[in-house]
Amino acid sequence: MPTVVFIDPAGHTHNVQAPIGRTLMQVALDNGVPGILGDCGGACSCATCHGYVDEGHAALLPPRSETEVFMLEGVPDLRPTSRLCCQLRVTEALEGITVQLPDEQV
C-alpha cells in the first residue's frame, strides 16, 4: 500500500497508508488530516479538497478535467500544482507523493 505524505497548514507532516483506488481526499479524511474538508463528498463541486502536489509526482496524475479547472478557479491561491484531491485516485505509482494543504480549509 503506497504511503502518501500530507503537510497540513500548520506545517505538520502526516505519513499515511493509502489504499489503492481510494481518492487522496478520502485518504486524508480517513486519517484525520487537518486542512481538508471534502464538503461535496467528492463530486468535484466544492473545491474544499484543494491541495498542492509535489512536482515530481504531478506528471503521474491524470490531467485536470474541465470541471476541476473550473472549480480551481475559485480557490484563493491557485498554483500550477493545484489539484482537487477528490479527483486523484491512489495508484502504486503515487508512492511517496506529497500533498501540501492550503490555509483556507482549516
Per CB under 6 A, residues contacting ligand FES are 25, 38-40, 42-49, 71, 84, 86
Nearer of residues 16 and 44 to ligand FES, judged by Cβ: 44
Classify residue 74 as exposed, middle or buried by CB count within 10 Å of its CB (0-12, 13-18, 19+).
Answer: exposed
CB of 29 to ligand FES, least distance (A): 9
Cell numbers of 58, please?
504531478
Residue nearest to ligand FES (CB): 86
Provide φ and ψ at 89, rounded to 5°.
-95, 145
Nearer of residues 48 and 82 to ligand FES, judged by Cβ: 48
For residues 32 and 68, give the distance between their C-alpha atoms in angstroms, rounded to a whole number: 24
CB of 24 to ligand FES, least distance (A): 10
> Going by C-beta distance under 8 Å and a sequence separation of 6 or more, which residues neighbour residue 69?
none
CB of 49 to ligand FES, least distance (A): 4
